[in-house]
Chains A and B, each alone.
Chain A
Amino acid sequence: MKGMSIIVKKIAQLISGFIFLYGIYIIIHGHLTPGGGFAGGAIIAGAYILNILAFGSDAVNLRNKEKGSSLSESLAIFIVLMLAIFALFIGSRVFLSNYLPKGQLGEIISAGVIPLYNIFIGIEVAAAIITIFLALIIFKEETKR
């Protein structure tokens, strides 16, 4: 896939960092403000997709990236499940229970295990959206040839 003009490239470079940071903000404030893992993950994926669209890439490179993103997707969702299973061995021994100390209401580090779920769901959603996007580009590149 060919990249775009220098103007687009420069703007994408400038903006994508902020988008990425905003995504992280949404994820880590998931238990305090609207949003959370899913919304923040989608924003982070947007930052990546913006860069790929602006700079372009060849099919071989994209294929390697897809392998990485699909692996990190599986790993992240597996860790989410492990966090839930871990609850079976600690505290009240019930699946999906909140076993960490709850902390002060309104603090960043509070709400027990929920921020951890948010972080890994964020990684999972970002990786999944990037994987879908890359699969579509790879399909387009392969049919063009």
Chain B
Amino acid sequence: MNSLIPIFVIVPLATAFLIMILGRIINGFQKTVTPLILLFLTILSFYFLINNNSNSFVYSIGGWEPIENVPIAIYFVMDGFSLILLSIISLIGFLASIYSISYISKFTSENNFYSLLCLMITGMNGVVLSGDLFNLFVFLEISVISSYALVAFGTQKEELEASFKYQVLGGIASFIILFAIGLIYWRTKTLNIADASIFLSSGNSNTFDLFIQILLITGFGLKAAMMPFHAWLPDAHSSAPSPISAMLSGVLIKAAGIYVIIRLFFNMFVASEEISILLTTLGTISMVIGVLLAIGQWDIKRLLAYHSISQMGYVVLGIGIGLIIIARDGKPSIAALAIAGGLFHMVNHAVFKGLLFLNAGAIEHRINTRNLKEMGGLSKEMPVTSGTSFVASMAISGIPPFNGFFSKLIIIIAAIQARFYLLAFLAVFVSIITLASFMKFQRYAFFNKTEHSNKSTLKEVPFPMVFSMILMGILCLLFSLLAFPGIREQILGPAIEVLTNTDQYVKSITGI
């Protein structure tokens, strides 16, 4: 099982270059091979996820053994937490690439699109698997730089502007992250996360550590678009092609931002109360202000992009509460519940936000506008789009049978058990406003009566797009099963185990 780990990086990387070579010669090579390899990765990652008995698998690249207990190799670590991310990256990537088959055909240079998509997935898989900080940074740059190019794929004026803005802010974030990694290397004399964790937990912490942590929160907060650092997200996510918006919003901000924050603050640094309160506050602010900014938007994709900020706030809130309880030596069961809520919401958000962006893309594909005021009455002509977007809207607003309800419920229960009543109230309040803004989306897009100029030609989108949307709609229902005991322990349990039990994570890598 161990030897299969680098496949998650090798296969998409090789495909990206193969597309650039063979895609010129063989017609349609790019659109067949990309979904196929992503389907393969999805099956592989779900196989690992289901057969995972809370072991960590460690793979040392180049076969370098530790010397005097100093791990010198580049490590790939696959544990419960990485596996959850790996599965959603491959799954959303697979569905988005199927959707692209008909969506991207109106653009030229399809080869470049699929090649960049594969590179982005390579980068994200690498970030999730990497066990040391510098390679994490390299893979982060691979995924983020290909996403800069993908945002500008339409090469219209606003797309280029959004991509430029994204590049400037992303560049600042990368600079800050690299600076922080340099400081960590200076302080701990190692780049391996587990090895650095041994050093940081044995020495007494000082303000220097605090400074590094603040730099990391700033850098990865910019990548994850937490509230004071969110300025690039609405532009970038709304002007990218729709399948890429689904990838960016559904997966990239999690793999490149939230995942690294969680991994470093749980498994590397010693949990401190100041930092955990700071994280929780940032999460709450992005949750509340994100939704307040979203409700006034008339551009559907901008509205969805602001909701991404708000929903990421929920994830950070759940994780932050867990970290506060760990820092205060509170009850481990409550901490585990809060972390479970955060991780569960992260998975759910990937599915329903991905679906919503695909719906927005389907509407744009048919009536060539993103303005809600120019739509209306689409439910009759586009029943599948209408139905699936209803499912996703209900899921994101937290209406019972769908997955969003259960994850929000777990976060709220954890907040109440930890006696953060205000945070629990705010989580409910934001959920209500989310519902209101998605009612607006439903009404103006699908039920309002507006006369279209091209009413006669208006029909449902082609089969590949319909296929992805229906599958994601089903997943919205299916993922609510994760809330139930039995399945929850199997899927979320190992991840929580890794996060709350740093010693075991360290032991599995360094063997000490």
Chain A residues at the B interface, C-beta cutoff of 8 Å: 70-71, 74-75, 77-78, 81-82, 84-85, 88, 92-98
Partner of A81, one of B14, B20, B59: B14
Q: How many residues of B contact A (CB 8 A)?
A: 15
Residues of chain A with a CB closer than 8 A to B21's CB: 71, 74-75, 78
> Contact: A96 with B62, CB < 8 Å?
yes
> Contact: A95 with B17, CB < 8 Å?
no
CB under 8 Å from chain A, chain B span 1-53: 3, 6, 10, 13-14, 17-18, 20-21, 24
Residue of B whose beta carbon sits closest to that of A92: B63
B61 within 8 A of A: yes
> Contact: A96 with B17, CB < 8 Å?
no
Residue of A whose beta carbon sits closest to that of B18: A78
Q: How far is the CB of A99 from chain B (nearest CB, A)?
A: 10
Q: How far is the CB of A37 from chain B (nearest CB, A)?
A: 16
Residues of chain B with a CB closer than 8 A to A74's CB: 17, 20-21
* A96 in contact with B14 given A70-B20, A71-B24, A78-B21 (CB within 8 Å): no
> Contact: A81 with B13, CB < 8 Å?
yes
Residues of chain A with a CB closer than 8 A to B24's CB: 71
B311 within 8 A of A: no
Q: For the complex, what is the distance from the CA of A63 to the CA of B6, rounded to whole Å? A: 37
Residue of B whose beta carbon sits closest to that of A98: B62
Q: How far is the CB of A64 from chain B (nearest CB, A)?
A: 13
Q: For the complex, what is the distance from the CA of A88 to the CA of B2, rounded to whole Å? A: 13
Q: What are 12 pairs between A and B in contact, CB < 8 Å?
A: A71-B20, A71-B24, A81-B17, A82-B14, A84-B10, A88-B6, A92-B63, A94-B61, A94-B62, A96-B62, A97-B62, A97-B63
Describe A's contact surface by its main secondary structure: helix
> Contact: A78 with B63, CB < 8 Å?
no
CB under 8 Å from chain A, chain B span 109-150: none
Residues of chain B with a CB closer than 8 A to A81's CB: 10, 13-14, 17
* A78 in contact with B17 given A71-B24, A93-B3, A95-B6 (CB within 8 Å): yes
Residues of chain B with a CB closer than 8 A to A97's CB: 62-63
B60 within 8 A of A: yes
Residues of chain A with a CB closer than 8 A to B61's CB: 94-96
Given contacts A71-B21, A85-B14, list 10 more A-B pairs with CB under 8 A.
A70-B20, A71-B24, A75-B21, A78-B17, A78-B21, A81-B13, A85-B10, A88-B6, A95-B6, A95-B10
Most buried by A among B13, B60, B63: B63
Residues of chain B with a CB closer than 8 A to A78's CB: 14, 17-18, 21
Residues of chain B with a CB closer than 8 A to A98's CB: 62
Residues of chain A with a CB closer than 8 A to B13's CB: 81
* A95 in contact with B14 given A70-B20, A71-B24, A74-B21 (CB within 8 Å): no
Residue of B whose beta carbon sits closest to that of A81: B14
Q: For the complex, what is the distance from the CA of A88 to the CA of B14, rounded to whole Å? A: 15
Residues of chain A with a CB closer than 8 A to B3's CB: 88, 93
Q: How far is the CB of A49 from chain B (nearest CB, A)?
A: 22
Residues of chain B with a CB closer than 8 A to A88's CB: 3, 6
Q: For the complex, what is the distance from the CA of A98 to the CA of B63, rounded to whole Å? A: 9
Residues of chain A with a CB closer than 8 A to B62's CB: 94-98
Q: For the complex, what is the distance from the CA of A75 to the CA of B60, rounded to whole Å? A: 27
Q: How far is the CB of B142 from chain A (nearest CB, A)?
A: 13
- Across the A-B interface, the 3 shortest Cβ-Cβ residue pairs: A94-B63, A74-B20, A78-B17
Most buried by B among A70, A81, A82: A81
Q: For the complex, what is the distance from the CA of A130 to the CA of B63, rounded to whole Å? A: 35
Residue of A whose beta carbon sits closest to that of B20: A74
Q: For the complex, what is the distance from the CA of A84 to the CA of B9, rounded to whole Å? A: 12
Residues of chain A with a CB closer than 8 A to B14's CB: 78, 81-82, 85
Residues of chain B with a CB closer than 8 A to A75's CB: 21
* A94 in contact with B17 given A71-B24, A81-B10 (CB within 8 Å): no
Residues of chain B with a CB closer than 8 A to A92's CB: 63
Q: How far is the CB of A39 from chain B (nearest CB, A)?
A: 19
Q: How far is the CB of A79 from chain B (nearest CB, A)?
A: 9
Q: For the complex, what is the distance from the CA of A81 to the CA of B18, rounded to whole Å? A: 11
Q: How far is the CB of A132 from chain B (nearest CB, A)?
A: 13
